[in-house]
Amino acid sequence: MPLTVLIIDDEEFLRRSLADFIEDLEHEPLLAANGREGLDLLEAAQPAFVFVDLNMPVMDGYEFIARARATHPELPIVVLSGVGLVEDAMRAVRAGAWDFIPKPVTDFAVLEHTLTKNLERARLLRENREHREHLEEMVRRRTAELEHTRLEIVHTLGKAAEYRDNETGNHVIRVGNIAAVLAGAMGLPPRRCELLRHAAPMHDVGKIGIRDSILLKPGKLTPEEWEIMKTHTRIGYEILTPRDAQSEQDVCGLAQAPVGDEPNALLALARTIALYHHERWDGTGYPCGLKGEAIPIEARIVTVVDVYDALGSERTYKEAFDEPTCRRILREGSGTHFDPQVIEAFFANINTVMTIRRNWQD
């Protein structure tokens, strides 16, 4: 297959001799008298191979090699030079040349061998890169598929719990989307906000372990039943905990550990939210009685969003409150039940919150 070979040399006789040799090999020569002309031809014609002299006017071979290598890392560049020899060869190779042929060129068979050898090297490099890129693309695609599948599973898990006391399960979707909005408003980085969007729907997954006679009871729970209901936080934590993670006895110390400090950050955050979303700012919540900023910020956000959405939703044990009442309860709970900064972020973004509620209404 004919190739384009760039020849850069300030000696016209040598350029023509090399051009004739290249044509005899049924390739197409491109000729340049200095490195500047060579760079222009390199960009315009994209040759498959370059022979370049070192000592030339306007731009020497060293500068040409350095500039060409920056934009064409797999381009075979072979130096032709008659001065310095070993010293020049080493400098040229350090700049990015692949090979070195001393002048004068008396044996064109050496040129043909060098051309063939370095074109083969370029082919192998190109095929290796293409294979590596193909593998990387396959890994990216497979990773995306796994991530999508994992998100589908966790969303389904969250909705499965919510379906037990809500006909549509849209509560968990609203909680996730609103929580992500508030997290962004409070300055959490985008990656963390997105994790929260997907982790928050699992906040009540522990309800799976609460029997229907308590979970769906239309009237007020007895003190004994209420204690059982409260265990859904620990049950949710256990459901989302890998086998080799901390035991149940250690859960109240988890707030001191970085959220997502494990390979699966999504499940780590979901576990944290499931456990702590009923803690209160004043320390009177459950299951651990954490207070203030000892409660992870994501759990503080979900607490506000969960209460707000539950107030405005109909359940077997209650009618839905109207919007003014829901907002009043949040404001009254600021500083006791809720983190005041989360409440401020909530009301600063109330229009977005209302849009999400309309889009995902039951």
Domain ranges of the chain: 4-132, 163-359
What is the per-residue pLDDT across 336-358, written as a single tens digit (0 to 9) for each?
999 999 999 999 999 999 999 99
| Closest by Cα among 27, 82, 29 to 53 | 82
Phi-psi domain of 212 (left: phi exceeds 0; alpha: psi -120 through 50; beta: other) = alpha
Residues in the chain: 362
Q: Write down the pLDDT at residue 245.
A: 54
- Give residue 204's identity as a one-letter amino acid code: D
Q: Kindly state the helix (H) or strand (E) to which residue 78 belongs, with its residue range.
A: strand 77-81
- Residue 318, SS3 per DSSP: strand
- The model's pTM is 0.61
Q: Which of 49-53, 112-116, 325-329 has the highest mean pLDDT?
A: 325-329
Question: Which pairing describes strands 4-8 and 28-32: parallel, antiparallel, or unpaired?
Answer: parallel
Q: Hey, how many other C-beta atoms are within 10 angstroms of the C-beta on 324? A: 8
Residue 248 pLDDT exceeds 60: no
CATH domain 4-132 topology: Rossmann fold (3.40.50)
Going by pLDDT thresholds of 50, 70 and 90, the confidence category of residue 140 is confident
Check pLDDT > 80 for residue 181.
yes
pLDDT in tens, 148-164: 666 677 666 766 666 66
Per-residue b or e along 24-51, where b marks 16 or more CB atoms closer than 10 Å to that residue's CB: eeebebbbbbbbbbbbebbeeeebbbbb
Are 8 and 34 in contact, with CB atoms under 8 Å apart? yes
Architecture of the domain whose range is 163-359: Orthogonal Bundle (1.10)
**pLDDT per residue over 77-110, tens digit each?**
998 877 566 777 788 888 888 888 888 877 788 8
**Chain-wide mean pLDDT for the chain?**
86
Residue type at position 85: L
